[in-house]
Every structure is written in structure tokens, then in C-alpha cells.
């Protein structure tokens, strides 16, 4: 079968590799679509993966092609989304069903072979069945959408938003996750959502989500006269954006760190004082909750998707066949074109 193989840092290519066979508890998924995550770029070109050679890609969906022993054959032919984190099921976090914080996890696309291939092995436990009206490209965005919902829930929980719809919220960093956080905030009924970006295309996108023109902010620098907010989502992972959030927060405000850090974070003394005196709350978010319960992040997203309440496909700016997906990686690496979500669509024929 064809697969995108990372053999060492900076060396990635489409290769012919052996088609795997499912073992006990596994299924073989025929991949329908797989998105490039922002984390895939440093994985390929800077840091490498935990194990190489490796088929990368963790944002994917497909159709169950074959099942291993102990797996219900009723899965065969079903369209599925895939939670990419494979929990150990033994640590304290797993015992509490907080699988996203598993201490000994594996991961499709960074530790074991992932979705940029014609077929991929997936534990049955990691599957979520797709409704008929959900496309493969939409389903390949279940993972980043669930990450966005998890971030929102870290601050607001799972309760209804009727009593907090007037909460002032800011989202800084309008890549895929920041845009999806904005999308879900607006879908939940939040009215006062400020977005901080640095591109005209981002300003246009958030307008389509219901963000008012005056609620888009072009960048954030020390001394800027910015609105005061109750909640700030930092989706970049740089000290400048973290400081922007801490400066914008009202007393008793809450900041959620979402972006993977680019470097060490060193807080100035006056900012630390602000955290103390204004009794600010900083929280982290990581991955998403997938427990097979109807109220986990993945089921919440799938429900909104099935109802047509959200349109993540509007964020797909580039589509490539598997054989051409390297062009998408180079666009993201070199930033030679504006992009949001770059998608590998195995059924893309134009």
C-alpha cells in the first residue's frame, strides 16, 4: 500500500509499504481523509517522531475494511472517526477515565503508524461510528474540533451557556484550533467574542462565524488599548501572547493555555503581581476527552456536526491526493500561501 513515511528528521516521502493485518482487538481502516496538524510540521522538519520510520497523521477518518479476532464483524463497512490517543488503561488517569492525560499512552501518527496511508491499524476502542450525513473530510476534523471543545470546557464546564452568554471572551491565535474555539463559542451562544489575529483572511473568516467587525483585533502589542475580558484563550504558545492575555484579563479572570510552547515562558515580576492581586486563574488544556459517553468531547462535536450546526469544512483551504500531500506540508512549512486546514483526501479526484 502507499503511505507517507517519515524515515528521519526532514526526510519524508510516499513509499510502498506492507499492508498491515489486524490483530486481536484491532481493525484495519481504509483511510478516507487525513488532515495535517500544525504539530506535524515540527515533527517532520525539526524534532522527529518518537519512533521512525513512521507513517504520520493523527487527524483522520475512514471505513472499517477488516477486523481482528475478538472484534465484532458488524464494524466492517462502517464509516468511523478515530481518537488517536491509545491509553494504557492501567494508570490513575485511565482509571478515572481521563484518558487524554494517560501517563503511558501510545499515539497514532507519532508513536505508531497513522493516517497518511491507504490503510491503518486502529484499536477497536478508538473508533466512533459516523452518521451517514457526515463526510470524510468533516470527520477528519473531529480531532481538532474535539480539542477546541475540550479547551472551552476546561473554562466553562459542560453546563449550558445561557447564564454566561454575555461573558467577555478573547481568542488569540487564529490557526485551526483558535478558529474552531471561536466557532464553538459562537455556536454555544457567546456574544462578546474578541478574536486577535494578524491576517485579513482571518478577519474575514471570523466574520462568517458571527464575530462583529469591531471585535476583530489586528495583533497585540505592549501599550495597546485593548478591551478587558473575563476569559482569554491563548492559542499560540509564545510569551508575548501569554502576556497579552494576562494584561487583558479583568479581576478574577481566567486564562486557558492552548498553544504548544515555542520556548520557555518567563513572566515579568509586574505580571506575576497582577496574577496575585487580581486573583487570576490559569489553566491548561490537553487533547480531548473520549470516553464513549454521550457527553464526551467527541460525541458533543459529532452531534453538532450531524445537526449541521457547524461547518468545519469551511476551514479547509487545500486538498491533495495522498500522492501529492507533500506539497501541503511544504506550504505549511514555508508559509508560501495562506492556509488554515490542509487536507489529504483519498477520494479527491479533481
Look at residue 167 in the predicted model and tell me its pLDDT. 93
The pairing of strands 106-107 and 85-86 is antiparallel
Q: pLDDT-based confidence at 158, cuts 50/70/90?
A: confident
Q: What is the pLDDT of residues 162-207, one digit of tens each?
A: 556 689 999 999 999 999 999 999 999 999 999 999 999 999 999 9
DSSP state of 18: P
Mean pLDDT within 319-327: 96
The pairing of strands 169-172 and 59-67 is unpaired
CA 2 from centroid of its chain's CA atoms: 25
**Domain 2-140+311-345 CATH (choose: 3.90.180.10, 3.40.50.10860, 1.25.40.10, 3.50.50.60):** 3.90.180.10
Distance, CA of 318 to CA of 88 (rounded, Å):
35
DSSP state of 20: P
Q: % helix / strand / coil in the chain, to the nearest 5?
A: 30, 25, 40
Q: What is the pLDDT of residues 139-149, one digit of tens each?
A: 999 999 999 99
H helices of the chain, in order, are 40-42, 92-95, 136-139, 142-156, 176-188, 200-208, 239-248, 269-277, 297-306, 326-334
Instruction: Determine the Cα angle at 123 with ends 82 and 136, to 5°.
Output: 25
Look at residue 350 in the predicted model and tell me its pLDDT. 37
Paired with 170 in beta bridges are 194, 232
Structural fold of domain 146-284: Rossmann fold (3.40.50)
* Residue 221 CB contacts under 8 Å (≥ 6 apart), including other chains: none
| b/e map 204-237, b = 16+ CB within 10 Å | ebbeebebeeebbbeebeeeeeeeebbbbbbbbb
Q: What is the pLDDT of residues 256-292, one digit of tens each?
A: 999 999 889 999 999 999 999 999 999 999 999 999 9
Predicted TM-score (pTM) of the model is: 0.95
Q: Whole-number mean pLDDT of the chain?
A: 94
Domain ranges of the chain: 2-140+311-345, 146-284
- The edge-to-edge listing of strands for the beta sheet with 193-197 is 216-218, 193-197, 169-172, 229-234, 249-257, 281-284
pLDDT at 161 over 70: no
Amino acid at each position: 500500500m502507499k503511505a507517507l513515511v517519515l524515515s528521519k528528521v526532514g526526510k519524508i516521502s510516499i513509499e510502498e509499504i506492507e499492508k498491515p493485518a489486524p490483530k486481536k482487538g484491532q481493525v484495519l481502516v481504509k483511510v478516507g481523509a487525513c488532515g495535517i496538524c500544525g504539530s506535524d510540521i515540527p515533527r517532520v522538519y525539526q524534532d522527529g517522531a518518537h519512533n521512525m520510520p513512521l507513517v504520520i497523521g493523527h487527524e483522520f477518518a475512514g471505513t472499517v475494511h477488516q477486523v481482528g479476532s475478538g472484534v465484532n464483524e458488524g464494524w466492517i463497512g462502517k464509516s468511523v472517526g478515530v481518537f488517536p490517543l491509545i491509553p494504557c488503561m492501567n494508570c490513575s488517569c485511565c482509571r478515572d477515565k481521563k484518558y487524554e492525560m494517560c501517563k503511558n499512552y501510545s499515539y497514532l501518527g507519532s508513536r505508531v503508524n497513522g493516517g497518511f496511508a491507504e490503510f491503518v491499524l486502529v484499536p477497536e476502542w478508538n473508533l466512533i461510528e459516523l452518521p451517514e450525513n457526515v463526510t470524510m473530510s468533516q470527520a477528519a476534523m473531529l480531532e481538532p474540533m474535539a480539542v477546541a471543545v475540550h479547551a472551552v470546557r476546561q473554562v466553562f464546564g459542560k453546563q449550558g451557556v445561557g447564564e454566561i452568554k454575555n461573558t467577555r471572551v478573547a481568542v488569540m491565535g487564529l490557526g485551526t484550533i483558535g478558529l474552531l474555539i471561536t466557532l464553538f463559542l459562537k455556536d454555544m451562544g457567546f456574544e462578546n467574542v474578541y478574536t486577535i489575529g494578524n491576517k485579513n483572511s482571518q478577519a474575514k473568516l471570523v466574520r462568517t462565524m458571527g464575530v462583529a467587525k469591531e471585535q476583530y483585533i489586528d495583533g497585540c502589542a505592549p501599550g495597546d488599548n485593548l478591551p478587558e475580558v473575563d476569559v482569554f484563550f491563548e492559542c499560540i504558545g509564545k510569551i508575548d501572547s501569554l502576556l497579552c492575555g494576562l494584561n487583558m484579563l479583568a479581576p478574577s479572570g481566567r486564562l486557558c493555555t492552548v498553544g504548544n510552547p515555542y520556548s520557555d515562558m518567563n513572566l515579568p515580576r509586574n505580571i506575576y503581581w497582577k496574577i496575585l492581586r487580581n486573583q487570576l486563574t490559569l489553566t491548561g488544556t490537553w487533547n480531548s476527552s473520549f470516553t464513549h459517553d454521550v457527553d464526551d468531547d467527541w460525541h458533543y462535536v459529532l452531534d453538532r456536526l450531524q445537526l449541521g450546526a457547524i461547518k468545519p469544512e469551511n476551514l479547509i483551504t487545500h486538498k491533495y491526493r495522498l500522492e501529492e500531500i507533500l506539497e501541503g506540508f511544504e506550504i505549511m512549512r514555508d508559509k508560501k500561501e495562506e492556509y488554515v486546514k490542509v487536507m489529504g483526501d483519498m477520494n479527491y479526484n479533481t
